[in-house]
C-alpha cells in the first residue's frame, strides 16, 4: 500500500492524489481550449478588420470622412482585441502552469513542485478576482451614469 505524503500537517492519500490528478487534467484541457479560442477570435478579428474592409460601417455624406472613420474603427477593433486577448491569456497561462506542475509533482512526489502548482492556482484566482472587481466597478459607473443621465432628460 502506498504511504501517505504529508503536506502542511495534512496527508495526501491515494484518493486525494487521484482527485488532484483529475483536476490537473481538466485544468490543462480548459487552459489549452481557452488559448485556442482566444487565438481564433484574434485571427478572425484581424481578418475582419483587414481583409473584410468592404463592409460598410456607417453611411454618411462625405466619403472621405466615412473612410477615415472606418479605418479608425478597424484599428480600434484590432488594438482592443489584442488587449482583451492579452488580458484573457494571462489567467489561462497560470491555469496551464498549475496543471503541468501538479501533474509533474504527483508523478515525482516533489513537494516544491506541488507548492509551485498551488501558487499558480492562487495567481489564477487572484487575477480573475481582480478582473471581476474591475468589471463590477465599470458596471457600477455605467449604472450611475445611466441613472444621472435619465434624471437630466426633460420630456
- 1-20: burial string, b at 16+ Cβ within 10 Å, e else: eeeeeeeeeeebeeeeeeeb
Dig out the grid coordinates for 73 from the structure: 474603427
- Measure the CA–CA gap between 32 and 25, rounded to whole angstroms: 11
Q: Report pLDDT for 57.
A: 47
Q: Report pLDDT for 150.
A: 85
- Burial level of 27, CB count in 10 A (0-12/13-18/19+)? buried
Q: Report pLDDT for 113.
A: 93
DSSP 10: E
Q: Report pLDDT for 3.
A: 54
Q: Report pLDDT for 75.
A: 83
H/E element, 7:
strand 5-7
Q: Report pLDDT for 130.
A: 96
Q: Report pLDDT for 152.
A: 73
Dig out the grid coordinates for 90 from the structure: 494571462
- Encode the chain (155 residues) as per-residue pLDDT tens digits: 445 566 566 778 889 999 999 999 999 999 999 999 999 999 988 888 777 665 544 444 555 556 666 777 888 888 888 999 999 999 999 999 999 999 999 999 888 999 999 999 999 999 999 999 999 999 999 999 998 888 776 66
- Measure the CA–CA gap between 14 and 12, rounded to whole angstroms: 7
Q: Report pLDDT for 45.
A: 86
Identify the three-state secondary structure at position 56. coil
Q: Report pLDDT for 153.
A: 66
Amino acid at each position: 500500500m502506498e504511504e501517505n505524503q504529508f503536506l502542511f500537517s495534512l496527508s495526501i492519500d491515494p484518493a486525494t492524489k487521484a482527485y488532484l490528478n483529475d483536476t490537473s487534467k481538466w485544468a490543462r484541457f480548459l487552459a489549452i481550449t481557452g488559448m485556442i479560442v482566444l487565438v481564433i477570435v484574434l485571427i478572425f478579428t484581424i481578418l475582419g478588420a483587414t481583409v473584410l474592409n468592404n463592409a460598410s460601417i456607417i453611411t454618411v455624406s462625405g466619403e472621405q470622412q466615412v473612410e477615415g472613420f472606418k479605418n479608425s474603427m478597424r484599428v480600434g477593433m484590432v488594438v482592443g482585441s489584442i488587449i482583451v486577448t492579452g488580458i484573457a491569456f494571462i489567467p489561462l497561462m497560470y491555469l496551464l502552469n498549475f496543471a503541468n506542475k501538479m501533474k509533474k509533482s504527483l508523478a515525482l512526489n516533489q513537494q516544491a513542485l506541488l507548492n509551485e502548482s498551488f501558487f499558480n492556482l492562487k495567481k489564477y484566482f487572484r487575477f480573475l478576482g481582480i478582473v471581476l472587481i474591475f468589471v463590477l466597478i465599470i458596471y457600477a459607473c455605467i449604472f450611475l451614469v445611466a441613472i444621472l443621465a435619465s434624471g437630466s432628460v426633460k420630456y
